[in-house]
Structure 1
Amino acid sequence: MDLAFLHPLYADPGPWASVYVDLSRHTEDTAHERELTAEAIARELADQGADDATCRAVRDAVNELRHASDPHGRALFARAGRVVLDPPLARAPYGGTTADWAPLPHVAPLLDLAGEDPLSVVAYIDRKGADFELRTALGSRDAGSVTGRQWPLHRTGSADWSERHFQLRVENTWEHNAAEVADALAVCQDETGADLLILVGDDRERRAVRERLPKRLRDRVTEAGHGAGSRLLDGEVERLRDDHVRERAREDLERFLAARAPDDEGRAGAAEGVPALVEAAREHRIDELLVIPDGPDTHREVWIGEDADQLAVRRTELSTLGEQNSWAARADDALLRSVVMTGAPAVSMTPALRGGPADRAPVGGLGALLRWR
């Protein structure tokens, strides 16, 4: 997950209100229920010590969602009387609506609730061209189309020389159109930043387009076994997107497991456990952070200073490093602040470990691939 969008949360010091609002339930009384939820959230934050202005800002923001059509939910991050960020969620919050008041924004749940939502382009391919559709967990929209040569497109059954010549022209038309579709799909991916390209159509057309895509896109492509003219249902797209997320998470996990083993000089290319990760974060060595959001060490207490690389397992360590002010924070949120500010990504290991052995997981639910050993 690219965490760059979280930068506004670290431009100012905390404390922060972090609210995950469940909007997945829709009834005749939804608007009234959400008004009650807004009041309950404000009270919960006040009980945790939040200032009145921030409580009001969050209450008003949740009230504004009473008629929202978001299918899953919304996260709200607020401080000093203002909601700074309110990203939509790709799935409903586990356990319903929650509210926290803490020195750092509680962004770790986003890895599961918003991060595992690959932006997908569905390409409906036939011999004439293709229609593109942009799909996310929040819905779909048209993403353009491409039309190739219109004639000739169909084979004949004759075997004389003129008909064989005609069939060769048909083959050339198909190949030309496949190249046109591949080029247009590559442009569409570049413009949208899509994580996954889903090819729909007859076997031959899908294969022809896939073979002509740039190499950089090959690992982003999957195919749906539908004939030309078919349209994918939401459930089918969701399954393909889930498969893609699971495969990418498994690849990250395999890289982590391979890097776990020390080299000939006893140095490992991966770290796990809070003390090792805190040290790596202070040295800006985390290349990718791996998180199991409900892992036992994610809520372990660490100590942070005003800057992202000021973190320690014990408070006295920060004093030794010259930091005058320090606060207790969750380990996952402290590490996520660090990687956001150093430009490293983070990924949830939940999809990779689904149904797999627990001993493959990073110790305590937190691990990292390192920039150098």
Structure 2
Amino acid sequence: MDLHWLKPLLGRPSPFVTVYLDVTRAEAAGEAEAADRWRGLRRGLERDGASAAVLDEIGDRVAVPTGVRRPHGRVVVADAHGVVVDRVLLQPPAQSTAEVGPAPALLPAVRAADETVAYLVVVVDRNGADLAWKTSDSGHGPSRREVVEGGHDDVHKTREGSLARRGQTRAEDSWERNAEAVARAVEHAVAEDAFDVVVLTGDVRAVALVKEELGRPALDVVVEVPGGARGEGARGDVFEARVAEALEAVRERRRAEVLDRFREAQGRGEGAVTALEDVIEVLRRGQVAELVVHVDALAGGLGDRELFVGPEPLQLASSASDLAALGVSGAPRTMAAGVALLRAAIGQDAGVTFADDGSVDLVDGIGAVLRWSDGSTPSEAVPTQSADQRRLRTVI
């Protein structure tokens, strides 16, 4: 799961305000309910010394409806100068929270990243297609739209008369040429943007023709979702529910791929580590491709621990002496372990994947898939780096 959009939080001036808000709006009193939730959180932030100007900006943001009709949440993170991150959450928090402190509360934002899917909706008919660039955490509509008209307008078959056969041939040829134009537009979009999935919908015959014309890698990310239509006639609620199912399948596949890599690397005895001390070691060496975190670890056991950190994200240690050994001078600074680990992951462009109970073997609720390994990398097979004996496997 990509965390690149959280990178602007690194190196920003504190204090940080993190708001985790249920912005679900009911049919009648929804606007007032959302406003009341924010007002209650704001009072607490004011007591804790948050800037009035920053709170005003956050209030202006959350006052604008997301456009999402289902229950959902929102995470907003601001530094000393203003809002840096503003994301829609697929699920509302069980309880709306807000805090101000020297570091952002990264867990809600990382949860939002775990849910985010970038996708292209392609609604086709026999004349062309409508393309819409979307992300699952944006309720304000597509970030971009494009209309493709094939240019071949003889798309209706002649059903009777002496020219019937010739008319049918011309119509089918027009469908194919128009499908080619749509396919080229989709391929261009996929080459320019890293979509997790392309949702292809619309006229059944046109959908089939477009798929026949698509090459890889576009075809590899296409999913057919029935129910969409150009212009009037789309069954909105039914279609959106089917799209939501397709996006959830993408999330599940994305998580499964990372967890499979972690398990395979553990089985080889290289390419993955687990236990807090070993994860700290590979994070500060810049070896991590993906953090693997138990779903409850950052808010549970790791949430109760603190690490020592320096001004740079990769400067982290479990003791002040270890931090000094990294060359960090001055009074040591502490940070919640979960925040420090996520900060280091973001600082080296690593992703984060959440694991459910029993899906992988994690010590301390934390592990990592590595970009590279060498002889000094903590090993699952040889206990040379970690004093934590719990991670050792029985070797037969």
TM-score surpassing 0.5?
A: yes
Inter-CA distance 40–125: structure 2 relative to 1 (3 Å threshold): closer
Q: Quick check: 2:3–2:110 contact (8 Å CA) kept in 1?
A: no
| Match in the other structure for 1:87 | 86
| Match in the other structure for 1:69 | 65
- Give the distance between the partners of 1:312 and 1:32, measured in 2 at CA: 43
SS in 1 for 2:289: strand
Q: Pairwise mapping of residues 91-170 of structure 1 onto structure 2 (< 5 A)?
A: 91-137=90-136, 138-141=139-142, 143-148=145-150, 149-151=152-154, 153-154=156-157, 169-170=170-171
Q: Quick check: 1:42–1:56 contact (8 Å CA) kept in 2?
A: no
Q: CA deviation at 1:362?
A: 4.1
RMSD: 3.3
- TM-score of the pair, normalised by structure 1: 0.81
Inter-CA distance 14–314: structure 2 relative to 1 (3 Å threshold): farther
- Give the distance between the partners of 2:101 and 2:92, measured in 1 at CA: 19
Determine whether 1:330 maps to 2:326: no
- TM-score of the pair, normalised by structure 2: 0.76
SS in 2 for 1:372: coil
Inter-CA distance 93–292: structure 2 relative to 1 (3 Å threshold): farther
Q: CA deviation at 1:318?
A: 0.8
SS in 2 for 1:18: strand
Determine whether 1:318 maps to 2:323: yes
SS in 2 for 1:277: helix
Inter-CA distance 109–191: structure 2 relative to 1 (3 Å threshold): same
Render the CA deviation track for 1:64-91: whole Å, top value 9, x for unaligned. 35632134443333344x3241412233
Inter-CA distance 38–211: structure 2 relative to 1 (3 Å threshold): same
Q: CA deviation at 1:198?
A: 0.8
| Match in the other structure for 1:38 | 39
Q: CA deviation at 1:145?
A: 1.8
Q: Quick check: 1:34–1:62 contact (8 Å CA) kept in 2?
A: no
Render the CA deviation track for 1:257-283: whole Å, top value 9, x for unaligned. 222222xxx4x1122232121111110
- Which residue of the other structure, out of 44, 59, 78, is the alignment partner of 2:55? 59
Render the CA deviation track for 1:172-224: whole Å, top value 9, x for unaligned. 43332222111112334455654321111344432332243241223321111
Determine whether 1:179 maps to 2:180: yes
Q: CA deviation at 1:246?
A: 1.5
SS in 2 for 1:216: coil
Inter-CA distance 219–111: structure 2 relative to 1 (3 Å threshold): farther
Render the CA deviation track for 1:30-58: whole Å, top value 9, x for unaligned. 44863674354443574xxx5x3x34345
Inter-CA distance 318–260: structure 2 relative to 1 (3 Å threshold): same
Q: CA deviation at 1:361?
A: 5.8
- Give the distance between the partners of 1:36 and 1:202, measured in 2 at CA: 44
Q: CA deviation at 1:304?
A: 1.2
- Give the distance between the partners of 2:302 and 2:344, measured in 1 at CA: 15
- Give the distance between the partners of 2:54 and 2:129, measured in 1 at CA: 45
Residue identity in the other structure for 1:8: P
SS in 2 for 1:87: strand
Inter-CA distance 84–36: structure 2 relative to 1 (3 Å threshold): closer
Identity %: 29
SS in 2 for 1:360: coil
Determine whether 1:2 maps to 2:2: yes
- Give the distance between the partners of 1:183 and 1:91, measured in 2 at CA: 32
| Match in the other structure for 1:287 | 289
Determine whether 1:222 maps to 2:206: no
Q: Quick check: 2:291–2:351 contact (8 Å CA) kept in 1?
A: yes
- Give the distance between the partners of 2:29 and 2:322, measured in 1 at CA: 55
Determine whether 1:271 maps to 2:280: no
Q: CA deviation at 1:150?
A: 1.8
Inter-CA distance 194–261: structure 2 relative to 1 (3 Å threshold): same
SS in 2 for 1:127: coil
Q: CA deviation at 1:235?
A: 2.1
Q: Quick check: 1:111–1:293 contact (8 Å CA) kept in 2?
A: no
- Give the distance between the partners of 2:183 and 2:30, measured in 1 at CA: 48
Determine whether 1:307 maps to 2:312: yes
Inter-CA distance 279–15: structure 2 relative to 1 (3 Å threshold): farther
- Give the distance between the partners of 2:22 and 2:37, measured in 1 at CA: 13
Unaligned runs of 5+ in 2: 374-396
Q: Quick check: 1:103–1:327 contact (8 Å CA) kept in 2?
A: no
SS in 2 for 1:215: coil
Unaligned runs of 5+ in 1: none
Q: Quick check: 1:123–1:132 contact (8 Å CA) kept in 2?
A: yes
Inter-CA distance 58–127: structure 2 relative to 1 (3 Å threshold): same
